[in-house]
Amino acid sequence: MKKISIIGCCGAGKSTLAESLACKLSIPLYSLDSVFWQSGWQQISREELIEKQEAIVCKDSWIIDGNYASTMDVRLPHSDSILFLDFPTAICLWRVFKRFCQYRFIYKKERTPGCPERITLSFLWFVLTFRLKKRPALLEKLESLDSKDIKFFRSPKEVDDFLRGL
């Protein structure tokens, strides 16, 4: 595992898993949220996101966490390992609210500089409908990558067991 993509619904724990793996494996971590969002929640263009990912995937090793389905074709073919956090919606929703409270009121810091934690209706709708609307296309895309090491995690315990086994 030297080129790792981590995908899954918002709130599944992609960033947390990525940070743990980066520490354990001494591999550079690239969070797509930090690449995509500029200060004040301004988005970069799709073309710029592709360009930045192309610069990352040509490196010897990396961990990329984030979905951004419109640019998965840039990184997934270059991945030697793909980790899909395929958690129930209830877990993801709980974690979204928990993260909001932690970063907004307890830690009072921003995970992405200039982008304070927030919850919008469109964001909640994305989380609520992810399994129904986004997951089928993700599974189809993963099926087309038959030569890749693809791991599915259906619970936080499975992720913990995986990390312990490294």
- pLDDT tens per residue, range 67-92: 998 899 999 999 999 999 999 999 99
Residue 120's SS3 state is coil
- 3-164: which CATH number, 3.40.50.150, 3.40.50.300, 3.40.50.10310, 2.60.40.10? 3.40.50.300
pLDDT at 109: 62
* Sequence letter at residue 159: V
Query: Do 86 and 99 contact (CB within 8 A), yes or no?
Result: no
Q: How confident is the model at residue 104 (pLDDT cuts 50, 70, 90)?
A: confident
Number of DSSP helices (H) and strands (E) in the chain, helices first: 8, 7
pLDDT at 107: 59
pLDDT of 141-160, one tens digit each? 999 997 789 999 999 999 99
- The domain ranges of the chain are 3-164
H or E element in which residue 43 lies: strand 42-43
Q: How confident is the model at residue 140 (pLDDT cuts 50, 70, 90)?
A: very high
Residue recorded with tokens 């947390």: 16
**What are the two backbone dihedrals, phi and then psi, of residue 136, each rounded to the nearest 5 degrees?**
-60, -40
pLDDT at 108: 60
User: pTM to 2 decimals?
Assistant: 0.92
H or E element in which residue 82 lies: strand 81-85
| Six token digits for residue 165 | 């086994």
Long-range contacts for 147-151 (Cβ within 8 Å, ≥24 apart)?
148/76, 148/79, 148/80, 148/81, 148/82, 149/1, 149/80, 149/81, 149/82, 150/81, 150/82, 150/84, 151/81, 151/82, 151/83, 151/84
